[in-house]
Each structure stands twice: as C-alpha cells, then as structure tokens.
Homo-oligomer: A and B are copies of this chain.
Amino acid sequence: MDQKSGAHERNPEFAEFVARLKRIKLLGSAQGIIEYDMEVSMPPGGAEARGEVAAELAGLEHEMTTSAEFRRKAERMMSLAHRGQLDPFEATVVRRACKEIEREAKLPKELVEELAAVTSEAHHVWAAAKGISDFTSFLPHLKRIIALKRQEAAAVGFRASPYDALLDGYEPGMTCASVEAMFTPLTAFLKDFIRRLASGTPPDESRAKIRAPLVIQQRVCRKVAEAMGFDFSRGRLDASAHPFTNRLHPGDTRITTRYDENDLLSAVYSTVHETGHALYEAGMPQEQFGTCAGESASFGIHESQSRLWENMIGRSAGFCFFLIYDILRHEGLPIGHPYDFRPHDMFCAVNVCRPSLIRTEADEVTYNLHLALRFELERALIEGTIEAKDLPRLWNAKMEEYLGVTVPDDGHGVLQDVHWSAGYFGYFPTYTLGNLYAAQLFEAARRDLPLVGEKSFSGDFADLRDWLRAKVWRHGAMLDPADLITQATGEPPSAEPFKRYLETKFKLVYRL
C-alpha cells in the first residue's frame, strides 16, 4: 500500500471525513498530555480531580465518535468505498476508521460506563490485594470484569471464540487459532531450551551491575536514546514509576524510564525499549495523524519495535561495546571496574536465562512462557471453560510445569499484573507476538543489511532505521499486522526466526 497516494486531488467528502477523524484524534492527544502529566508530574493531591478531567474527555471522545451524525457520515463513506468512488488508499482509511467506529458504537453506553467504573474500583482493590497476597478480596471484582468482557465480546461479535473479539482490539486480524498455532510449538521449544541452557555455563551476572549517580544515569540514557535516533527537539525523556512511551501528537513524543542508583543498565534497557517504541511513533507519516495511515499497526507490531531494539540490538555484543567505549567511559563508568570491564562480559551478563516468578523481570527466553500461561488462562476465562476462583491453583500449576518455579504467594503469582484489573483481556499475547515479529524482522533486516551487527559497535544505526522505516513505520496501520510482517519479511508470522535467534545467541553465551 503506497502512502504517496496523497499526490492527487482527494475526494472532498473524504477530506471532510478525515478532518473529523483528526478532531477526534486531537481529543486523544489532550488525554495523552493529561495522562503523561499524571504519571510524570502530578502531585498526589490532584489524583481525584484529575480522574474527573480524564473521564470528561473520554466521554467527549466517545460522543464525538459515536454521534448519530458522524455514524451516518461513516456509512456514507463506506458506501462510496463499495461503489468504487474512493481510491484504494482512501478506501482503506475509511474501512479501518469505520471498523473502529462500529466497534465503539456496538458497545452499549451502560456497558462502557460500568466497565470504566468497575475497573477503576478494581484497580485499587487489586493493588491492595497484591500487596497482601489476598486473591479472595480481588476475586469478586475480577468475576465482574470477566462477565463484562464477555458481554463486550458478544456485543462486538465473533466467529470461533469470544476471546477473538477482544484480541482483535489489540491485534487486528489475529485469532485464538492463529496465536495458538505459533504459541503451542514455541512453548514446547522453550521448555526444552531452558533445560538445555541449564547444562551450559551461566555467565557472571555481576558484570551487568553498575552503580551510578542519578545525574550520570540521566546523561547516559539521553546519549543512548540520541544514538538510536531519538530527536530531542521533538520529544523528551523523563522518569516515571512505570516506563512508557506516548506520542502526544506530531512533533512531541515522550518516553520515560526509571532509575535505580544501584543498577544503571536497568535504566538503560528501559530507555532502549521505550526509544524503540518512540522511533516507531515518530517514524510514522506524521501528516496522516488522525487516520490509520498515521498510527501503529497493532500492539504486537509496536512491541516488536521496542523488543527489536532492546534485545536484538541492545543485548548484542556490538551494543555493549558501543555503550562501554562511546558512552560509559566518558562518564568514568563503570566505577569499580577500572581495568577489566569488557564488552563481552557485559554481553554475556545481560543475556542470562533464569526461570523466575515475575513476568516483567523475566529474561528473553522465559518471558514468553509467562505470556503463554496468561494467554491460556485468560482465553479459558473468557470462553468460560475455567472459573476465576480456580485461577491461583491453575496459575501455580502452570508455573511449575512451564518454568519449574514454585509460586510462594498470589502477590508473586496470579496478582502480579495490572492487566486483568484494568479489563485488558486479549492484551497479553501481543507481548509474545512482539518478540516473534521482532526476531522475524531482524532476521530479514540482517539479510538486507549484512553489516548491521558490525555497525552497532560504533553506534551507527542509520541503516537499520531506514530499513524499519521502509518496511514498518511508513505503513502506519494500512495493513493488518500479519500482512505487514509478510510483506516486510517474505514470510507469514512465525516463531521459527525467534527460535533461531535464541539458539544462536544463548548457545554462545552459555558456551553450548
């Protein structure tokens, strides 16, 4: 799909439709700015009123999206598309926008409001329950959320599984069946691969622990983001409890990281991850802001961009060399390793595989087993084949089976993630899809750019950026993720490149 179709005269009705889409998107920008301030700047006293501001804007956006007048306009545009009165670019923009409008319009107002109210309350209950490992206090809220998400799936409509309706909101075109086809063999491979690594030589992890004062960490992270291509005249790097990326609007992409004075690389890898997201956001056609041509293809594709930079680039020998010699050395780091801190040691130390309890702290190998477990459980919850009350037991059994890890309490088990309390059913698989897409894209990029690994040693990522821009960024959401991956790599989405990638790297690190 070629974005340059803006060259000829646009259908005036299309232009008017896009202008309205952009107005809705501007309201989304306002919400993004408000949320960003909430995470980065807001004093605690502002929380309650801020929630009201956010709700008011969300309500206005919903009204604007689902007003009878706008839906009539959307229907009219669809009929123009059907009658061939729009060019292919216009037709795609219309089709995608109408899909979202319809999805939103299908949800009864009462359901939307109840979900907002229930998840808002559940969030607080979940946070408290997690702190004291008390699943039973969270259970009634979780049951209500599951019931509402099942209603949502029914309202949206689906063919095979109600879970498909939810998944499609995050990963257009993906279904339980297509996810399962990749995840089941991947899970088997990973379980076996972990056992194989256990027979190797584990790296010395102390080579990844670097202490550094906050101001130095801030400078290092800024330099890393700059080297990756983040433009600080069109963005910022700040600190927040949970790192995130948010393009507020064209020309202003924000990323955050978190700092721990005992662990410089934690801030660095958060920064690399978020910068990966940010390059994608800033790399989309900015003039298409408001239409699918100017937004991300899916949650999975977004995650592929962050994970490609974080893992394929960031955890490579070349990047460790660049980080040590071009950045850390100028800051007098790593302190305490004046002579013997070698890039290869760091490379090995940032590529440790160790089964553990918490998803967000998991390494590249075990991470996807955490997700497989969640996908299986949440799918069964939505399909109604298991009950919420049985979750802790099922969770703990799967942790034992997949990772050989014994869960000591629900705070470190089934209660660890925020997603279910927020109603994000269907989100988890996109993390693994991101990893798979990343490996597949990177394998293709290396085919086209044989020197990409070598160039990492000097922090030269220009070729890789150009490749990603051409293959991924510039397409926005004009293609479904599976089609985007197929077009970019010549193959449909598959777990094979990821398996090859893991084998190559971890066999080297574990000297197998």
Contacts and interface: CB of A to CB of B under 8 A. Distances in A.
A252 B42 CA distance: 7
A26 interface: yes
A315 B227 CA distance: 49
B56 A30 contact: yes
B30 A53 contact: yes
Contacts of A236: 41, 43
Interface in A34-51: 34, 36-37, 41-50
Contacts of A47: 251
A158 interface: no
Interface in A249-267: 249-252
Nearest to A48: B251
A109 interface: no
Copies in the complex: 2
A58 to B, nearest CB: 11
A234 interface: yes
A27 interface: yes
Interface in A44-67: 44-50, 52-53, 56-57, 60
B43 A34 contact: no
Contact of A49 (B231, B232, B235, B250): B250
Contact of A37 (B27, B33, B52, B53): B33
A27 B9 CA distance: 37
Contacts of A252: 42-43, 45-46, 49-50
B36 A248 contact: no
A76 interface: no
A233 interface: yes
Most buried by B among A41, A47, A235: A41
Contacts of A193: none
Name the residue in A29, A46, A231, A235 with the highest tally of chain B Cβ atoms < 10 Å from its Cβ.
A46
A123 to B, nearest CB: 19
Contacts of A424: none
Contacts of A232: 43
A23 interface: yes
A212 B45 CA distance: 31
Given A46-B252, A50-B252, A252-B46, A57 B30 contact: yes
A380 B44 CA distance: 48
A52 B249 CA distance: 10
A33 B236 CA distance: 17
A281 to B, nearest CB: 13
Contacts of A27: 56-57, 60
B249 A45 contact: no
B45 A233 contact: yes
Nearest to A52: B26
A29 B48 contact: no
A129 to B, nearest CB: 26
A461 interface: no
Interface string A161-205: 000000000000000000000000000000000000000000000
A462 to B, nearest CB: 20
A356 to B, nearest CB: 36
Contacts of A45: 231, 233-235, 251-252
Contacts of A231: 45
Q: Closest 5 CB pairs between A and B?
A: A46-B252, A45-B234, A45-B251, A49-B249, A26-B56
Given A29-B53, A30-B34, A33-B34, 14 more contacts: A27-B57, A27-B60, A30-B30, A43-B232, A43-B236, A44-B233, A45-B235, A45-B252, A46-B250, A48-B251, A50-B248, A50-B252, A52-B249, A53-B249
27 contacts: A26-B52, A26-B56, A29-B49, A29-B53, A30-B53, A30-B56, A30-B57, A33-B33, A33-B37, A34-B34, A36-B37, A41-B41, A41-B238, A42-B252, A43-B232, A45-B234, A45-B235, A45-B252, A46-B248, A46-B249, A46-B250, A46-B252, A47-B251, A49-B249, A50-B251, A50-B252, A53-B249
